[in-house]
Amino acid sequence: MLAHLRRALPVLAIASGLLLPIVVSSCDKVPLLAPTGSVINLFATSNTVSLNSSVDIVATAVENGTDVGSGSGTTSTPGAGTPVQNGTLISFTTTIGTLQPSEARTHNGQVTVKLVTTSQSGTATITAYSGGASKTLQLKVGSAAASHISLTASPQSLGSGGGIATISATVTDDGGAPISGIPVSFNTDQGTLSSGTVTTDGNGTASTQLTTTATATVTATAGSATAVTTKVNVGARIVPTLVANPAATTAGSPVTFNITTASTANVRDAVIDFGDGAAQDLGSIGPQAQTSHTYTRSGQFTARVTVQDATGASEFAVTTVTIGSLSVTLAAAPNPVTAGNPTVLTATVPSGTQIVSYTFTFDDNTPPVTTAGNSTSHTFTQRGTHIVRVDVTAVGGATGTNTTQVAVQ
């Protein structure tokens, strides 16, 4: 018996030596988990997360702790209790994207991992667990996070011929933070869009270009956000007309120009060129406007009015005016007249004509008489029929002439 015992002792000793390392090695591989009664709280550093981006997920674990809520917000007050032992393993799962890493060991009861998103939108359900403790967080991803859209057009108004406006939509979440990487759909009831679907940039903005010749309403939609609209106005055509009254007259006589535009047009400026080198800026005018001009020389003139609306678009209209020489009539009274007695000579020009001078010339070899007024008197001493001529000069240089016969008895 003793001999058998002696033979067995070395075997037992060897077996014991092998067993101890195996037990120790197995203990090292068992993770340290949160003990019974622990509480995990879970938070994200942002209310939402964009596509193809990342956000930090923070988990805290305390022994004998208090659950502080659903974990759906970005700020919280940690529950009371003692942080779990450093090195406690917390594991994570998500229904959208990936968590990097998918498990982490605590320091002072806390771990931080990243939720990395792809091109999938939706609500990610993130779970953190350790031992018997777990917590779930729901986080909106991509289009699901879209809460508000602001839509602008630049410019807001186009000229009567239409043009191109840039339409920009900015998408934000419930907290007003911009959301990048999500598609925005644009639609218009007039014209064409350079792109019907555009992905938001880093500022949460997506832009497209509208080309239109008529007032257009553009609508933008993104995810669950309520669709919004903006209007791009196209100005009404000005459609000007220009009428001269009279269309034919003599130099020195005023011509009235009547200008009309469409009743819906917003005319910012109107300039009329009279065709003789003179022009007038009428400024802002209504549907009916009027101005006058006096031509100082004969000829045919093309007057042109150019009108411009508030967007800078312009249209024009023309009309032709025929101008003859300055019209002058000359009369003597009394006529006939007795030799040695005066007769009054009166020159008449169109009403409103501004005259510089009247020069009366007689055929009895007396000197001509130049006056500022339109009449003068003259005494003929010899009987017979005498010729009197008047030359009239108007302001601006227009001239006219006429003659009359005076019978002297």
306 part of a folded domain: yes
What band does 331 get if pLDDT is binned at 50, 70 and 90?
very high
Question: Span 118-137, mean pLDDT?
Answer: 93
Give Cα separations from 364 to 123, 310, 357 (angstroms). Answer: 115, 67, 22
User: Can you give the residue range of the structural domain that contains 366?
Assistant: 329-408
Beta strands in 213-278 (DSSP E): 216-221, 228-234, 241-245, 248-250, 254-260, 267-273
Distance CA 239, CA 44 (A): 62
Same domain, 223 and 246: no
32 part of a folded domain: no
Sign for the CA dihedral angle at 344, 347, 348, 354 comes to negative
**Residue where a domain stops, chosen among 89, 119, 144:** 144
Same domain, 74 and 115: yes
34 part of a folded domain: no
At 383, the amino acid letter reads: R
**Residue where a domain stops, chosen among 127, 144, 161:** 144
pLDDT for residue 79 is more than 60: no
List pLDDT tens digits, range 184-218.
999 999 999 999 999 999 899 999 999 999 899 99
Give the domain CATH number at 86: 2.60.40.10
- The alpha carbon of 200 is separated from its chain's Cα centroid by a whole number of angstroms, namely 20
pLDDT for residue 6 is more than 60: no
164 part of a folded domain: yes
Same domain, 156 and 134: no
Tell me how crowded residue 204 is: count the other CB atoms within 10 A of its CB.
24
2 part of a folded domain: yes
Cβ atoms of 276 and 304 within 8 Å: the answer is no
Continuous H helices in 170-287: none
Same domain, 333 and 395: yes
Burial class from Cβ neighbours inside 10 Å (0-12, 13-18, 19+) for residue 71 reads buried
- Tell me the backbone φ, ψ of residue 351, rounded to 5 degrees: -60, 135
**Residue where a domain stops, chosen among 119, 144, 169:** 144
Same domain, 155 and 223: yes
* pLDDT recorded at residue 243: 96
383 part of a folded domain: yes
Burial class from Cβ neighbours inside 10 Å (0-12, 13-18, 19+) for residue 288 reads exposed
What is the number of domains present in the chain? Answer: 5
33 part of a folded domain: no
* pLDDT recorded at residue 5: 39
Q: 327, 300, 394: which is closest to 356 by C-alpha? A: 394
Tell me how crowded residue 60 is: count the other CB atoms within 10 A of its CB.
25
Same domain, 366 and 309: no
Distance CA 66, CA 43 (A): 15
Full-model pTM: 0.52
Same domain, 22 and 52: no
pLDDT for residue 19 is more than 70: no
What mean pLDDT, rounded, does the chain reach? Answer: 87
Same domain, 135 and 153: no
List pLDDT tens digits, range 232-279.
988 777 889 999 999 988 888 889 999 999 887 778 899 999 999 999
pLDDT for residue 325 is more than 70: yes
* pLDDT recorded at residue 16: 43
Cis peptide before 350 (omega within 30 of 0): no
More confident residue, 19 or 261: 261
339 part of a folded domain: yes
Same domain, 254 and 304: yes
